[in-house]
Copies of this chain bind each other. A is one copy, B any other.
Amino acid sequence: MTANPPIEGDVCRTEMECHQEARSHLPAIAERIIDHCESSSCYTHIDSEPIPSEGFVADIIDMFRELLFPGYFSREKLDPVNLRYSLGQTISKLYDLLADLIAHNIRHDCLRYNQSCSHCETRGHSLALEMMDAIPEIRQILASDVQAAFDGDPAAKSHDEIIFSYPGIYATSVYRVAHKLFELGVPLLPRIMAEHAHSITGIDIHPGAVIGKRFVIDHGTGVVIGETTRIGDNVRIYQGVTLGALSLPKDAGEKLRGKKRHPTIEDDVIIYSGATILGGDTVIGSRSVVGGNVWLTESIPPDTTVMMETPRLVIREAKHAAGS
C-alpha cells in the first residue's frame, strides 16, 4: 500500500501555519462529536456512578494474589517477623479499596436500573468483610490446584515455577475470588475481574461457574468455561477446551438468562485440547477421559474414554524430489 498523494490545495507554508490551519477546523468537529452524544445511536454513561478503571481492578487482583500466595509476589523478602506487617498492610489496603469498589458497583446498578439505592456504602463494607473472610478457604483450595498441576506436569520443575509463571494458576486464582464476589451478589466487578484474567491468560472462566478442588488448566489459551458450568474435584483440562451452550436462536438473550445452559463435569475427568462439550443437560461421568478435538453434546457415563475415530487422512505423494 503506498501512501496517498498529499491532499491538493491544502498545503501550507510552514509547519506551524499548517498546524494552526488544520486545528481551526477542530472546534466544529468537536461540536458534532459532543452533540452526537444525545443521539439514540450513542451509548453514554452520564449521570451514572463511574466504574473504576481497569487499573484498580489490576491492583485488586495483585493484592489478592499477594495474600493468597504470601511472599511470592511481594517486592520485599518476607520472613516470619515482617510477614505480619506486610500482610497486615496489604489486608488493610485491599479491604478499603474493595469496599469502595463494591459500593460503587452496587450504586451503579441502583442508579442505572432505577432500583432504590440505600445503604450501598454499608453493603460495600459488609460484603468486602465477607470476601476477606473467605481468603483462608480460597488459599486452601488453590493449594490443592497447585499440587494437582505439579502432579500431572512433567515440565514443571517446582511448585514455585507453577505459582510464579503458570497462566492456569493465575486464571484459577482470579476465578476463585471473582466467583466468591459473584456468589455475594456483587454486580459487574466479578465479570470485569474475569475478563482481566482472560486478557492476561487467554482463559475465559465466567465467575458464575462452580469448580471443585484440584482443578488444573494446562497452557490454557482459548479455554472457555460458561456461566452455568459445574465442575467436580480433580478435573484437568487443556488449551482450547470449550464448556459451552448449545446453539441459540438469535433472540436467546432474554429467554435463556438464568437457565442452566452449560455442561456438568464430574470428578476425576480429563479433557484434552480442543474438545468442545455443550449443553446444560450434558454430564461427563466421573473418571472419564474426553480426547482431543472431541465434540460432545450428549452425556457420557462414568469411567468412559471418548476419542475421535482416527480420521482418514489423505496422504499425497511427494511433490518434490528429495533435496529440491
**Contact between chains at A322 and B308 (CB < 8 Å):** no
**Contact between chains at B29 and A155 (CB < 8 Å):** no
Size bin of chain A's contact surface: 35 or more
In the assembled complex, which residues on chain B have CB atoms less than 8 Å from the CB atom of A139? 36, 41-42
In the assembled complex, which residues on chain B have CB atoms less than 8 Å from the CB atom of A32? 133, 136
Which one of B72, B84, B305, B322 lies within 8 Å of A302 (CB-CB)?
A: B322
Shortest distance from the beta carbon of A279 to any chain B beta carbon, whole Å: 12
Which one of B76, B199, B286, B305 lies within 8 Å of A315 (CB-CB)?
A: B305
CB contact list, A143-185 vs B, under 8 A: 143-144, 146, 150-161, 163-167, 184-185
**Is A293 in contact with chain B by the CB < 8 A criterion?**
yes
Closest to A51 in B: B164
Closest to A165 in B: B195
Report the Cα distance A126→B34, complex, angstroms.
20
Report the Cα distance A219→B227, complex, angstroms.
12
**Contact between chains at A143 and B43 (CB < 8 Å):** yes
Which one of B118, B146, B236 lies within 8 Å of A6 (CB-CB)?
A: B118
Report the Cα distance A67→B14, complex, angstroms.
31
**Contact between chains at A152 and B248 (CB < 8 Å):** yes
Which one of B146, B221, B256 lies within 8 Å of A224 (CB-CB)?
A: B221
Report the Cα distance A133→B37, complex, angstroms.
14
- Among A29, A78, A221, the most chain B Cβ lie within 10 Å of the Cβ of A221
**Is A59 in contact with chain B by the CB < 8 A criterion?**
no
**Contact between chains at B3 and A187 (CB < 8 Å):** yes
**Contact between chains at A273 and B163 (CB < 8 Å):** no
In the assembled complex, which residues on chain B have CB atoms less than 8 Å from the CB atom of A49? 77
On whether A47 and B316 interact (CB within 8 A), knowing A221-B221, A253-B151, A293-B295, the answer reads: no
**Contact between chains at B126 and A7 (CB < 8 Å):** yes
**Contact between chains at B295 and A160 (CB < 8 Å):** no
**Is A121 in contact with chain B by the CB < 8 A criterion?**
yes
On whether A80 and B43 interact (CB within 8 A), knowing A154-B245, A253-B151, A308-B314, the answer reads: no
A-B contact pairs, 15 of them (CB 8 A): A1-B187, A3-B110, A3-B115, A3-B187, A7-B122, A12-B122, A26-B91, A26-B132, A34-B87, A37-B83, A41-B139, A108-B160, A154-B261, A221-B222, A240-B240
